[in-house]
Amino acid sequence: MGVIPYTEEDVKLLARLIRAEAEGEGNLGMMMVGNVGVNRVRGDCLDFRDIRSIRQMVFQSPGGFEATQKGYFYQAARQNELDLARRTIKGERQHPASNALWFFRPGGACPEQWYNQWNSGRYKAHCFYIPTQADCPTVY
């Protein structure tokens, strides 16, 4: 059972997304991207109101992921990414992405805020950003 509804096709989509967005960040970095994706489906808040499925989250436009927006969402998921996707769907969370709805890769240090959202931390090249609990209680 997952913390969000899913099918095997959803697992494959999320696995492809985590590979496309964070393959160079290792397993932990890919899992954190999965956390952000799952949080967007759970959230029903801010930029992600009415996102109810992994498919909607992966292909959200505007406001979605760079991999699907800029065309590098083409590689198939491997068993490793499938396993990581299942773990995130089942609720495993990793800090600083535990409650994050956004991440990006800056050229330097992580800004304290990004689009009025607070930085929760950095993992390798990616900075993670969280909503306030008042704005988005379902990701907490």
SS (H, E, C) the chain: CCCCCCCHHHHHHHHHHHHHHHHHHHHHHHHHHHHHHHHHHHHCCHHHCCCCCHHHHHCCCCCCCHHHHCCCCCCCCCHHHHHHHHHHHCCCCCCCCCCCCEEECCCCCCCCEECCEEEEEEECCEEEEECCCCCCHHHC
pLDDT at residue 11, as a whole number: 98
- Name the band, by pLDDT with cuts 50, 70 and 90, for residue 63: confident
Above 90 in pLDDT, residue 66?
A: no
Residues 103-121 have a mean pLDDT of 96
Other beta carbons less than 10 A from residue 130's beta carbon: 22
What is the band of 123 on the pLDDT scale with cuts at 50, 70, 90? very high
pLDDT for the residue 91: 97
For residue 62, what pLDDT band results from cuts at 50, 70 and 90?
confident
List the one residue out of 91, 88, 118, 85 whose CA is nearest residue 102: 118
User: What type of residue is 134?
Assistant: A
pLDDT of residue 26: 97
The arrangement of strands across the sheet holding 126-130 comes to 102-104, 126-130, 117-123, 113-114
pLDDT at 57: 97
| pLDDT confidence of residue 135 | 96
* CATH code for residues 8-139: 1.10.10.2520
Q: What is the pTM of this model?
A: 0.96
**83 or 72, higher pLDDT:** 83
Place of tokens 């609990």: 133
